[in-house]
Amino acid sequence: GSKKSINFLISYEQNKQSGVIFSTGGYTRNNLRVNLDHHILPTLKISTSNLFIYTNSNNPGSYKSFNDLLFVSPDVDLTRVNNNGNLYKILPDPWSVAENPLYPLYYRQKTAQRVSLIGNVIGNWEIRPWISTNAKYTYEYRNKYWNTYTPKGYLASGGQYLGGTLYKETYQNFNQDFQFSINMNKQFNDLVAKLKLSYLYENSSYNDYNVLGHDFIVADVPQLNNTDPTKSQLGSYEGKIVAINY
């Protein structure tokens, strides 16, 4: 759209994919874009472009299910029940060490979410016909979150029951750039004088936090405070990079 000295664009997109893997949800992405151009003065213009992205993924409970399927005889019934009555017998083929590829897909939950915000602001000012300035600020923010839940009573390929696990991880990254320049181009008779002054500032920071809880106290309650605190595993890292150029 436009209004006198202002041009703008607002758009929204949603993408849904149902997925084809057994007992695995799909993928959803939502995009929101906002662009704006504004001529404050005939010689002064400000532009901005911004994109917001949110994605949600339901990932397979195992990344080796197709590999396990190759080692299972074609006449084996993968829908047989275990001794405890649960579906999908963990070792359906007595002649193979591969576990039932359907079992982790059905009982283990893996999800991931991502939030991204990307944009820039640009300013151009023609102070005189022979001198102009340009300023640009860009940013990119990313936040990723992973969650993996293995319930209490999950069967290992050896036949033993596991106490269950809950893994959570979050990662944040924020990048910023600021650039400012002055451009001069003036002719004095037969002499052309050109001058450019430039400044660039770059800043990148990131951090990651993760926790793994073992052995649920109560079944079907996927909370970290429901796991054995003596077996918890914690991890983190963070950093920052700054660069300045003239």
Q: What is the pLDDT of residues 116-132, one digit of tens each?
A: 999 999 999 999 989 99
Prediction pTM value: 0.86
pLDDT of residue 2: 55
Of 106, 27, 31, 96, give the one whose Cα is nearest residue 62. 106
* Residues of the chain scoring pLDDT < 70: 1-4
Which pLDDT score is estimated for 169? Answer: 98
Q: What is the pLDDT of residue 94?
A: 86
Encoding tokens for residue 161?
């029951």
pLDDT score for 156: 85
Closest CA to 107 of 21, 218, 24: 24
Residue 107: helix, strand or coil by DSSP?
helix
End-to-end CA distance of the chain: 38
At 97 the pLDDT is 82
User: Which of 79, 238, 74, 99 has the alpha carbon at shortest distance from 162?
Assistant: 99
